[in-house]
Amino acid sequence: MNKTLKIVVGVIASLSFAYAAPAANAQTTDEYTRQVAAAQAKIDDLQNQLKDANTNLDSWTNSSNEQANLINDAQTLATQASDAFDAAKIDYADKKNAYDQAYAKQQSASQAYNQAVNDLNASADLLDNKYTIWLDAQAASDFAEAELNQAQSNYNTQLINIGGQGSAPGLKVDVYTGIGRYGNPPQKSDTAYTKCKTTTVSNIDINWGGGDILGCGSDYIMLHYKGYITYPTTTKVYFQAPADDGFYMSINGTQVINDWSLKGCGANSTGLFSFTGGKSYAIDAWFYEWNGGACSTLNYKPLGGSAYAVAPASFFTQDSVATWVKDPALLAIVNQKNGLLVAAVAKEEQANQVYLNAEIDYDSKYLTYSNMGQNLALEKNNLSGVTDILVAAENVSQTCSDNKAIADANLRDLKAQYGTTFSAIESAVNRVDNLEAQIVQAKIDLANIPKPSAQPQRKSKKQTIRAYADGVYMARQKFVINLK
């Protein structure tokens, strides 16, 4: 029993004995015995209840101790989880700082790379522009060169007449017959055969078929062309002579065509002669017809020409033509065009140098762009690695946070359960204290039961109650849970 409670009970008991009323004389022995038995039975019942209450209190106290141990363990786990979470936060802060630095470097590298891209593109645009200017300068230079070449060609070919007489057009032709007497091919001779006639032709271009040849028959005929050929410009000219049968030609004593054999109306060889524009050269040509069909044509094509054409009558004269020389006015044009070419070439060279400078700048910008690209790739790779580390730290922090939350929740639950247990302990303590107080009161009630009188009508001696001190008891201290 609570010591304080016992002291109070002792005081009450002493007061009761001091002031107890005299026993009723009418009390009988049986009644007294019955009352004492009832009072003792009440005391016994209360003591049994007290025993059960103490057992219940011990049970709750033991449970409280077990829960205190669990709370201590949970508190340890919660502290460890909190410490781990704090460490994870510190580690995450370090990793975040490393990530921020890596990200700043990546951003800086990205900005430098983008600037290098812009610089490279601007340099590329400038290079393309300078190249276009250079191409234009090249085109202008080429045009000036073509103009000069054309002026030079005009000066070389467009001759002017500085005196002399013209000549009769066409070629003289001696016609011979009976050429079969010495076999095929005939001799190219003005004395070996019979001359039929001498006549003129405007040019060499006729197809007699099987008919009469210049009025001297259709078979075994030979023609000898004589005169001059003049080409208007200075150049090389190709010649070929489709003939049935043979054809031979020399210009200025140089053999040009030699097809002196039987054949159909075609050409077996091609010749080349270099002309000075406006200068007349002696032409000596022979043709023979053996029998059958007959044709004779002289075709030409200047060097670089696309197709052969019949040599026109304007090429041929019976004598040398007037003297032709180069035109001084055209020479002035040549000099002018040469000056324009020199200026155009200078601009082309200047544009080329500007382009080369732009090319050097572009190469420099490209090298910077390449270096910035490599640096950006390095920083991106580094950022990726740091990001992986940061993500791992985030996962650890989250796990530690979850573990801390679980540990804290478990600790809260155990404390809540302990609160319930503590309330039950307080209730059990109150129950024990109440039963102990009831027992004390029941004992007082037992002591105060009046004793029976042998002779109720006889006045009995006044009873004097002797009070005895029950000692000093300390009040039971309030139960306090020892929190683990």
3-state secondary structure 331-392: HHHHHHHHHHHHHHHHHHHHHHHHHHHHHHHHHHHHHHHHHHHHHHHHHHHHHHHHHHHHHH
Residue 380: predicted pLDDT: 92
Angle between helix axes 328-447 and 3-18 (nearest 10 degrees) is: 30
Beta strands in 168-322 (DSSP E): 171-177, 194-201, 205-209, 221-230, 235-240, 243-244, 246-251, 254-259, 271-275, 280-289, 294-297, 299-302, 309-310, 316-317
Question: According to the model, what pLDDT value does residue 65 have?
Answer: 86
Q: Confirm or reject CATH 2.130.10.10 for domain 160-326, answering yes or no.
A: no
**In 3-state terms, what secondary structure has residue 171?**
strand
Whether the per-residue pLDDT at 2 is higher than 70: the answer is no
Among candidate residues 252, 243, 323, 307, the one with its CA nearest the CA of residue 284 = 252
The whole-number pLDDT of residue 461 equals 66
More confident call, 361 vs 7: 361
Mean pLDDT, range 169-193, rounded to an integer: 92
Q: Is 217 left (phi over 0), alpha (psi -120 to 50) or beta?
A: left
Q: Summarize the confidence of residues 472-477 as an average pLDDT.
A: 52
Domain ranges for the chain, please list them.
160-326
Q: At what angle do helices 29-157 and 328-447 cross, to 10 degrees?
A: 180
Cβ atoms of residues 330 and 172 within 8 Å: no
Contact 258, 270 (CB under 8 A): no
The count of C-alpha atoms lying within 13 angstroms of the C-alpha of 292, restricted to the half-sphere facing its C-beta, is: 9
Beta-bridge partners for 227: 283
Tell me which of 319 and 11 has the higher pLDDT: 319
| pLDDT value for 453 | 67
The reported pLDDT for the residue numbered 20 is 41
Q: What is the mean pLDDT of residues 405-418?
A: 86
Give the per-residue pLDDT at 475. 54
Taking CA 141 as the corner, what is the angle to CA 135 and CA 144, rounded to the nearest 5 degrees?
145
Closest CA to 431 of 58, 63, 65: 58
Q: How confident is the model at residue 411 (pLDDT cuts 50, 70, 90)?
A: confident
pLDDT, tens digit, 9 for 90 and up, residues 422-468:
888 889 899 889 988 999 998 998 889 888 765 554 555 666 666 55
| Token digits of residue 329 | 């006015």
- Average pLDDT, integer, range 237-253: 95
Q: Are 173 and 214 in contact (CB under 8 A)?
A: yes
> Is residue 484 pLDDT above 50, yes or no?
no
